[in-house]
Amino acid sequence: MYDKNTIFIIGDAKASQNNPITKKYNQYFLAIVVDQTDGKIIDVECSATVDITKHFVRSLFIGRHIDDPSIVEDISQRYFGSSQKALIVAFNDAQKKYQAITALPN
């Protein structure tokens, strides 16, 4: 399904205690498939409890570069779910993991 040049990264964060995501998953996860040749985000999934949330989150990421600083701005200005902060933290975690992976010698 995914090209051999893609990598899979999970970013995670804590969601607030009263968030249904915390009750279901104990944590917030953001899974990202990235083409490591150019950093383009190919696919995204998150630990949301409502399908429309998953679709909306995908629309914020797919087709963009993982190092694009405007992604966090878009999340802040467009995503008003109770897990907004957790989504930003999970994305930042995924970015750090991507940078560490791509810094490794082949």
Where residue 81 sits, what CATH number does that domain have? 3.90.1010.10
* Mean pLDDT confidence for 56-83: 96
pLDDT at 48 over 70: yes
Predicted TM-score (pTM) of this structure: 0.88
Q: Does residue 10 fall inside a structural domain? A: yes
pLDDT of residue 97: 96
Q: Does residue 37 fall inside a structural domain? A: yes
Q: Does residue 16 fall inside a structural domain? A: yes
Q: Does residue 1 fall inside a structural domain? A: no
pLDDT at 80 over 70: yes
At a CB cut-off of 8 Å and minimum separation 6, what does 43 contact? 2, 32, 33, 58, 62
Nearest to 97 by CA among 26, 43, 36: 36
Number of domains composing the chain: 1
Q: Does residue 29 fall inside a structural domain? A: yes
Which structural domain range is residue 67 located in? 6-103
Q: pLDDT tens-digit profile of 2-47?
A: 999 999 999 999 866 665 555 555 688 999 999 999 999 999 999 8
Rounded Cα–Cα distance for residues 21 and 82 (Å): 9
Q: Does residue 28 fall inside a structural domain? A: yes
Q: Does residue 99 fall inside a structural domain? A: yes
pLDDT of residue 49: 79
Task: Please give the share of the chain, as a percent, with pLDDT higher than 70.
Answer: 88
Q: Which helix (H) or strand (E) holds 7?
A: strand 6-13
Q: Does residue 52 fall inside a structural domain? A: yes
Which ranges of the chain does DSSP label H, i.e. alpha helix?
20-25, 51-61, 70-78, 84-103
